[in-house]
Amino acid sequence: MKHYAYYPGCSLHATAADYDVSARAVMNHLDISYSELDDWNCCGATALASDSYLFSLLAPARNLAMAGGDKGDMVVACNACYVAEKRALKAFKEGGEWSKRITEGLLRIDKEIDDDVEVLHLLQVLVNEVGLEEIENKAVRNLEGLKLAPYYGCQYSRPETEGIHPESPMDLERLLEVTGAEVLDFNRKTRCCGSSLMSTKEEHALRLCGEILKEADYRDADAIVVTCPLCQLNLDAFQPRVNGLLGSDYRIPILFFTQVVGLALGLDPKALGIGKQLTSCSGFLEKYRKGA
């Protein structure tokens, strides 16, 4: 039985607490063996690299050093953590200048990275390691009738994730199909939501979110299903501001994939943090309940 070092990341302890709650609920229900990585630090996301390049490799490296071995591979739920940790691991594994400095830096704090440690996204764990068959077996509620737009954002499949096309990953679609829901052919599934530039370049980021919401609306999506807390924040919390800027009237629930899978597994919506969204999910839940 494989054990994982669960790395929630800063957002899951705050703005995306419902993601953490639903992720744990799903992992528990699927009997995934995990424990939260002890004393983990912020991975730096994409911000540290813009401030101090080497430190942006060292901070996530500390987490890598604490994972691995019998702690297990690192499992992350946030796309940005996924990119940051993989970036540090790649730099470390490549040998060369940055690798040397990572090793040297970690020595200062008496740590070193286990050569075999891997970084996995929770979506990958569900699809590849637990397997779709297992999830289908454990599913008790059919989400037929619900139209879901799968949205990965940028950093699940880019810059490179092994075995996955950078612009057309299919893991989320395959997972959602197992729930019985109608998975929409969503062209903008890996288009940028604006990421942290929602803070620094708000108007432009709002327009990018607008494009995503527009297509979801056009395709009659009941919800956009995401794999990243920042995408969720931008599309959900800032949805009213998108409407304000574009003069639109979108009211599309933005849910984490763990919440949708949790519903299919028969878990209580409240226990999955559904209802904590700023865009109302009541319409979605109504449809879900009717579907029984």
Partner 1 sequence: MPANRIGVYVCHCGTNIAGTVDCEAVRDFAAKLPGVVVSRDYKYMCSEPGQEIIKKDIREENLDGVVVASCSPRMHEPTFQKAVAQAGLNSYMMEMANIREQCSWVTEDMDEATEKAKDLVASAVAKVRMNAPLEATYNDITPRALVVGGGVAGIEAALRIADSGYEVVLVEKEASIGGKMAKFDKTFPTLDCAACILTPKMVEVAQHPNIKLMTYSEVEKVDGFVGNFEVTIRQKARDVDLEDCTGCGICSEKCPGKAASEFDEGLSQRGAIYIPFAQAIPNVAVIDRENCLYYNGKAKCQVCAKLCPSDAITFDNEDVLVKETFGAIVVATGFQSFRPEEGNQWGFGKYPDVISGLQFERLTNASGPTDGKVKTSKGEVPKAVAIVHCVGSRDANHAEYCSRICCMASLKFAHLVKEKCKDAEVFEFYIDMRAFGKGYEEFYNRIQEEGVHFIRGKSAEVSCQIEDEGERLVLRGEDTLLGVVREIPVDMVILNTALLPQADAPKVAETFGLQQGEDGFFMELHAKLAPTKTPVDGVFLAGTCQAPRDIPDSVAHAGGAASEAQQLIASGKVKMSPVAAYNEEEKCSGCKICIALCPYDAIEFDEDKGVAVFNQALCKGCGTCVASCPTKAAGIKHFEDEQIFAQIEGVCASS
Partner 2 sequence: MTHKTRVVRQEDLDPGFFDFFTSLPGGEQILSCIQCGTCSGSCPFANDMDHTPRSIIAMMRAGMVEDVLNSTTPYYCASCYSCAARCPRDINITEVMYLLKNISQVKGKYGSFYSIFGALTRRYGRMFEGELTLRAMLKTDPLKLPGFTPLGIRMFLKGKLKPLPSLIAGRGELQRLYDYAQEAGSVGREVGS
Find the radius of gyration of the CA atoms of the chain. 19
Task: Report if residue 168 touches partner 1, rule: CB under 8 A.
Answer: yes
Using CB under 8 A as the binding rule, whether residue 208 contacts partner 2 is answered as yes
Q: Which of 35, 137, 187, 199 binds partner 1 (CB under 8 A)?
A: 187
The one segment of 23-31, 164-172, 228-236, 284-292 that binds partner 1 by CB under 8 A: 164-172
Task: Judge whether 234 and 266 are in contact, CB under 8 Å.
Answer: no
Cβ 266 to partner 1 shortest distance, Å = 33
Q: Of the two residues 58 and 216, which places its CB atom closer to partner 1 in the complex?
A: 216
> Residue 226: which H helix or E strand, with range?
strand 223-226
* Binding partner of 215, given partner 1, partner 2, none, CB within 5-8 angstroms per partner class: partner 1
Q: How far is the CB of 41 from partner 2 (least distance, A)?
A: 5
**Residue 109: how many other CB atoms lie within 10 Å:** 11
CA distance 275 to 282: 8
Tell which positions 119-178 bind partner 2, by CB under 8 A: 154-155, 158-160, 166-167
Handedness of CA 179, 182, 187, 191 (dihedral sign): negative
CB 124 within 8 A of CB 91: no
- Return the number of the residue (96 or 247) whose C-beta is nearest partner 2: 96
State the minimum distance, in angstroms, from the CB of residue 85 to partner 2: 14
Total interface residues for partner 1 by CB under 8 A:
9
- For partner 2, give the closer residue by CB, 130 or 192: 192
Distance between CA atoms of 11 and 9, rounded to whole angstroms? 6
Q: Check: CB of residue 32 under 8 Å from CB of residue 130.
A: yes
* Closest CB 53 distance from partner 1, rounded Å: 24
Q: Does 192 bind partner 2 (CB under 8 A)?
A: yes
In the region spanning residues 75 to 104, those forming contacts with partner 2, defined by CB under 8 A, are 83, 96-98, 101, 104
Distance CA 67, CA 7 (A): 9
Alpha-carbon distance of 166 to 258, in angstroms, equals 22
Among 44, 68, 169, 253, binds partner 2 (CB under 8 A): 44
- Which of 145, 218, 271, 282 lies at the binding interface for partner 1 (CB under 8 A)? 218
Full DSSP string of 235-260: HHTTHHHHHHHHT------EEEHHHH
Spatial distance between the Cα atoms of 263 and 259, rounded to a whole number of angstroms? 6
Alpha-carbon span 202 to 180, nearest angstrom: 37
Task: For residue 66, give both structure tokens.
Answer: 């604490």
Size of site (CB under 8 A) for partner 2: 64
Distance from C-alpha of 108 to C-alpha of 30, rounded to nearest angstrom: 39
Q: Mark the segment that binds partner 1 (CB under 8 A) among 62-70, 163-171, 176-184, 253-261.
A: 163-171
CB hemisphere CA count around 107 (13 angstroms): 6
Which residues contact partner 1 by CB under 8 A? 165-168, 187-188, 214-215, 218
Which residues contact partner 2 by CB under 8 A? 10-11, 13-17, 39-42, 44-56, 58-59, 62, 83, 96-98, 101, 104-106, 108-109, 111, 154-155, 158-160, 166-167, 191-192, 194-197, 199-201, 204-205, 208, 237-238, 240-241, 276-278
